[in-house]
Amino acid sequence: MVVNFITIVMLISQSMIIFDFNKTSSISDWKVVNDVVMGGRSSSKFYVNDEGHGVFSGTVSLENNGGFSSVRYRFSEKNIEKFNKVNIRLKGDGKEYQFRIKSNKYNQESYKTVLKTTGDWQTIEVSLSEFQPVFRGRILNIPNFSSNKLEEIGFLVGNKKNENFNLIIDSISLN
């Protein structure tokens, strides 16, 4: 019993929780950004469900050159030099989502990875060095993510088709 407790404490100390949803989570710092900022017609919402998970759901529309919905979470700068992977526990709807990160919330570019959801609960682990630089949907000709700090994370759906979506998020951490 003591060994198990020590193992759990060691595992927890080797990770950094970015957000762990529960029934009392404040999501006031999570902001929805849809393609309406560019004239599109997509719509989405972000809320905590009765089970205590974050839910990002809505409809992506290609009307008026639209095609994406996103939600982002900005926070005070976190030193992440001891971590090299992100872990996301989620339940998707079988669609692909982008998970995006920024070392500085004011940077124009983001760094993305694509999450392929199955419809079941998944824990997806991605090396930070695999995150590709993007701006307005285009891959940039600069190196992949290599910063020692983090100030923003987010999810984006934009699969170049009209579709409803539903992504349930349990936790996001670094290890």
Q: Looking at residue 38, what is its pLDDT?
A: 87
Q: Per residue in 63-122, pLDDT tens?
A: 999 999 999 999 999 999 999 999 999 999 999 999 999 999 999 999 999 999 999 999
Q: Looking at residue 126, what is its pLDDT?
A: 98
Residue 50 structure tokens: 């009765």
Phi-psi region of 63 (alpha: psi -120 to 50; beta: other; left: phi over 0): beta
Q: Looking at residue 18, what is its pLDDT?
A: 98
Whether the pLDDT of residue 15 is over 70: the answer is yes
Q: Per residue in 136-151, pLDDT tens?
A: 989 999 999 999 999 9
What is the arithmetic mean of pLDDT over 51-69? 97
Q: Looking at residue 7, what is its pLDDT?
A: 44
Residue 100 structure tokens: 């995006």
Q: Looking at residue 13, what is its pLDDT?
A: 58
SS3 164: strand
Task: Count other Cβ atoms within 10 Å, centred on residue 66.
Answer: 21
In angstroms, the CA 130 to CA 35 distance is 26
Residue 38 structure tokens: 């560019």
What phi and psi, each to the nearest 5 degrees, are found at residue 5? Answer: -60, -45
Residue of higher predicted confidence among 38 and 142: 142
Q: Which residues pair with 123 in a beta bridge?
A: 89
Q: Which residues pair with 4 in a beta bridge?
A: none
Q: Looking at residue 37, what is its pLDDT?
A: 84
Please identify, in words, the CATH class of the domain defined by 2-174.
mainly beta
Whether the pLDDT of residue 10 is over 60: the answer is no
Q: Which of 43, 44, 40, 45 is nearest to 62 (CA)?
A: 40
